[in-house]
Structure 1
Amino acid sequence: MTVRPYAPEHADAVHRMRKLAFGTPRDDAWAAESDAWHGFVADVDGDTCGTLRIWAYRQFFGGRAVPAGGIATVAVDPHARGRGVAGALLDAALAGMREAGQPLSILFAATPPLYRGRGWEQVGSAERVQVPISVLAALPPGRAPVRRAVEADLPELHRLYLDLGSTVDGMLDRSEPAFEVSRIFELDIVDVVPGEDGVRGYVAASRHGANDLTVWDLVARDAEAALTLLGRLSSWAGMVEQVSLRLVDPVVYDLLLAMPRHLPRFVEPFMLRVVDLAAAVEARGWPDYLPDFTVDLEITDEHAPWNAGRHRLVHESGALRIEPGGTGVVRLQARALGPWFAGTATTDALRRAGLLEGVAPMLDAVTAAPRQLRIADTF
C-alpha cells in the first residue's frame, strides 16, 4: 500500500469513492489545489482506493485559536475495505498535520472505533433544538431596530462572532482560507441590530421546507439585541411551525430563551485528537491564577510517536509548557490527551475509562474540567 498527497489527477477516483461512501454529487473543489485543505490518497496494487481531506481550521481553547486539522471525506472503495487503508490514511494525516503546524485534529465520526484506534476521542457536539414558534412568541419583547445586513457589515459580523466564539471552547474562528465570510449572504436572511458603537447582534437563517426555519447563527452582544432577534423569529408565526436553533451561546439559549426541556434536540458529536502535545499546550490559552506546579507524565502514543515517552508538564508564572523528562508518575493513553486538553473529562473519569493511571489534581484544575464543548460548524 502506498499513501501519497492528493493531486488533481486523482479527482475522478476521489469522486467515485465519495459517491459510493456518502452518495454526494461531484465536488469540483477536489480537482484543484487549495490553501484551505490538503488531502491524501491510498493506492493498493496500483489502484487508488482510499482518500481523505484535511481542512485548515483554528479552534478556540482558553480564548486562543489553536490550529487544527479538520478530517473529512474519509472514503475507501468497497473492494479494499478491511485491508487497513483508512488506518494508513489517518497515520499519514497525523504526520502531515504535524508538519503543517496543526497540533490538534477534529472530526465528525461515522465510525468512531476507527478513530479511537488512532487516538481521537469524543469531546463535544454540534447541537440543534427545534423550538415551536409559540415558545419564541412568549418571550419578553426586544425593541431594538433591525435592518438587513449589507456587505460593509461583514467585518463587524465576523468580529461579533469571534467575540462569542473565543468564550466558547470548541468553536472554530472561521478564518481564511477555510472560510469565506461573504458566503453568509447565500442564506435567505441576514439581519443585524445596529448600535452606536457598531453591530450589536445578527441572525443568519434559511428557509428549509414548508414548516421550518433554520437559524445558522444568532449572535448578540447584549440581552436586548438577543431578545430583539428572537422576537424577529417569532414573526414567522403562521408561516412556519418551528425554528431550528443551534445551541452555542449559553446566554441566549439558557438564560434568555429558557426552553422547555422536552423540546427535540439533534446532537452530532465530534472527536478531538492531540496531534502534537507540546505545540498544542503552547498554543492554548490557560488560566493565569493557578500556583506554579509540575506534573510528570508518561504517554503511550503508537500513531504519533513524537508524543510518546516521559514529559514534564510545567506551569510557571501563568504559562504552561511541556518539556522532556520526569518520572512518568501519571500515565496517559493517546485517547486521554484530547479530553484532558479540552477539559471535557476529569482525570477520575479518564482513570475509570482505563485511559489514565495515577493521581494529579492539577491536571483537572488547569482545564477546569469537566466542561462542555460546543461547535457551530460541521464539515
Structure 2
Amino acid sequence: MTVRSYAAEDFEDVYRLRRLSFGGPQEVPTTPDDPPGSASALVAQDDTGITGFLRVWNYRQFFGGRAVPMGGVASVSVQPHARGTGVAGRLLAESLVLMREQGQPISTLYPYVIPPYRRYGWEHVGTMQVALVTLSDLAATPRSSVAVRPATRADLDEIHACYLRTASTMDGPLDRTAPGFDMARKLELDVVTVADGPDGLRGYLAAARPDGKRLRAHDLVADDVDTAHALLRQLASWAGTITDASIRLLNPALVDLTVPGGLQRGFEVHDFMTRVVDLPAAVAARGWPALVEAKPFAVDIEVTDQHAPWQAGRWRLIHEEGTVTAEQGGSGAVQLEARALGPWFTGSASSASLRRAGLLSGSHEVAAALDRLTGAPHPVHLGESF
C-alpha cells in the first residue's frame, strides 16, 4: 500500500468511496465543488485501486484571540475490504507530515469513531452545539428600538466583521476566511436579517427552513443586548406557523442570557477533537491574553509523540511580556502524552484532569503553571461542522 497526494484523475473513484462511506447521490458530479486552495487530500492505493481517502481543510481557528492555522481533517474513508488493515492509520500519520509542511500547527476533526484518532494523538476538546427554543416563549422577549432589515450583497463584509467580533473573543471558532467560506452563500439562506449600528452592523440573523417545518438559525450574532432582543423577536415572529426553532450556538452565553422561557441546550451536540501537530509553531501562533500582566516564567515539559517525532522530547515554554515561545531543552519536569497536547493547548482540560486520565505526570507545581498559560479549564466551541 502507498499513500500519495490526491490527483484530479482520482475524482470519480474518491467520490464513489466517499458516497459509500457517508451517503449521497449515486451519480458522480461532473466537477469537484471544492474551491481552489480550500483543502488538500491524500489517497491510499494498492493493486486493487484506491483503498482510502482523507481530506485536510485549510482553516484558521481562534485561540487566545488569534486565528491559528488549522488542518481540518475530514472525509476519512476506507474501502470495506481494506478496513482493519491499517489504511486509516497510514492516512492519519501521513496527514501529520502534510499539515506540518503546509504550516498548519494544529488539527481538528469530528470523529465518527474515537479509537483510531486517539491512537494518532487527537483528543476531545470541545463541542458544536445546537439548542432548541419554543417560539411562543420568545414572545416575552423585551421590545427593542434596534431596527432590522434584509441583508444585501453590500453587507457581506460587515456581516463577517460582526461575526469576527464575537468569534475572536472565544476559543474554538473558525475565522471563516479560508477559500472554503464564500460569504455570498449566506444570501442563499431563507432569512438573513441585519441590524444597523452607528459604525456598521451590530448584529445579524442567518436562518433557513430546509424542510418546511422547523426554522434553523445558522448564526445569531449580536454586539449588545438590544440587538439580541431585536433578532430574537425576528425568530418569535414565526410562532404562528412554526412551533420551535433550532439555534446553532456560536456564543452559548448570549443565547442563555437573553432567551426568555425554555431553552433546550444539547438538542444537538457534536464532539470535536484537536491535536497539536507542531508544538513550537502552535505556541507561537496562539494568543495568551491571560498572561499580559504576568511576570516572566518558564514551564519545562517532555512530550511523547511517536507519530510526530519532530515535537517529541524536552521543551521549555517561556512566557515573557505576554508572549510564549517553545524552545528545545529544559528539565522535562512534566511529562505529556501526545493526546494531552490538544486539551492543554485549547485550554479545555486542566493539568489535574489530564493527570487523572493518565496523559500527564511529573511535578504538580510545574503542571499548575501549564494551566496559567491557557487559563484552563474553560469551554471550547466550534460554530460549524466540516
TM-score by length of 1: 0.97
Other-structure match for 1:307: 311
Task: Identify if the C-alpha distance between structure 1 residues 27 and 377 changes in structure 2 by more than 3 Å, giving closer, same or farther.
Answer: farther
Q: What is the aligned partner in structure 1 of residue 18 from structure 2?
A: 18
Name the structure 1 match of 2:351: 347
In structure 2, distance between residues paired with 1:93 and 1:27: 26
Verify the 8 A CA contact 1:300 1:308 in the aligned structure 2.
Answer: yes
Distance 2:6 2:37 in 1: 13
- Give the one of 290, 296, 299 matched to 1:295: 299
Whether 1:180 aligns to 2:195 is no
Q: How does 1:124-135 map to 2 (within 5 A)?
A: 124-135=126-137
1:213 matched to 2:220:
no
CA deviations on 1:310-340 (whole Å, 9 max, x unpaired) are: 1111111221010011111100000000000
CA distance in 2, matches of 1:234, 1:220: 16
Residue 91 of structure 1, CA deviation:
0.7
Deviation at 1:46, TM superposition (A): 5.1
Identity fraction in percent? 50
Contact 1:8 / 1:30 at 8 angstroms: preserved in 2? no
Match of 1:325 in 2: 329
- 31-40 vs 163-172, which moves further: 31-40
Please list the CA deviations of residues 248-269 of structure 1 after superposition, one character each: whole Å capped at 9, or x if unmatched.
2244212212553656621001
1:112 CA drift (Å): 1.1
Residue 369 (1) aligns with residue 371 (2): no
Q: Is structure 2 residue 157 aligned with structure 1 residue 150?
A: no
Question: What residue ranges of structure 2 are gaps of 5+ in the alignment?
Answer: none
Q: Which residue of 2 aligns with 1:106?
A: 108
SS in 1 for 2:271: strand
Query: What secondary structure does 1:374 align onto?
Result: coil
Q: Give the C-alpha shift of residue 33 in structure 1.
A: 8.0
Any conservation in 1 of the 2:133–2:245 contact (CA below 8 Å)?
Answer: yes
Output aligned runs, 1:221-240, within 5 Å. 221-240=223-242
Instruction: Give the Cα–Cα distance (whole angstroms) in 1 for the partners of residues 136 and 345 of structure 2.
Output: 40
Of residues 343-352 and 239-248 in structure 1, the stretch that sits farther from structure 2 once superposed is 239-248
The answer to whether the 8 A contact 1:294-1:315 is kept is yes
Determine the structure 1 residue equivalent to 2:165: 163
Comparing 129-138 with 94-103, greater Cα deviation is found at: 129-138
Match of 2:3 in 1: 3
Asked if 1 retains the 8 angstrom alpha-carbon contact of 2:35 and 2:179, the reply is no
| Contact 1:42 1:50 (8 Å CA) reproduced | yes
Matched residue type, 1:293: F
Q: Is 252-261 or 318-327 further displaced after alignment?
A: 252-261
CA deviation after TM superposition for structure 1 residue 29, in Å: 5.7
Q: Which amino acid aligns with 2:282?
A: A
Moved more, 176-185 or 301-310: 176-185
How many pairs were matched up? 379
- Matched residues in 1 for 2:45 and 2:287: separation? 40
For residues 277-336 of structure 1, give each alpha carbon's deviation from its aligned partner in whole angstroms, at most 9, with x where no partner exists. Answer: 100000000031222111111100011111101111111122101001111110000000
Letter aligned with residue 152 of structure 1: A
Q: Distance in 2 between matches of 1:277 and 1:314?
A: 13
Which residue is equivalent to 1:273? 275
CA contact (8 A) 1:105 1:272 kept: yes
Could you tell which deviates more after superposition, 127-136 or 102-111?
127-136
TM-score by length of 2: 0.95
In 1, the alpha carbon distance for the partners of 2:261 and 2:84 equals 45
8 Å CA contact 2:131–2:264 kept in 1: the answer is no
The question of whether the paired residues in 2 share the 8 Å contact of 1:336 and 1:355 is answered with yes
In structure 2, what is the equivalent of residue 285 of structure 1?
287
Give how far 1:27 is off: 5.5
Structure 1: give runs of 5+ residues left out of the alignment.
none
Contact persistence 1:253–1:259 (CA under 8 A)? no
What is the rounded CA distance, in whole Å, between the counterparts of 1:59 and 1:190 in structure 2? 24
SS at match of 1:185: helix
- SS of corresponding position for 1:328: coil
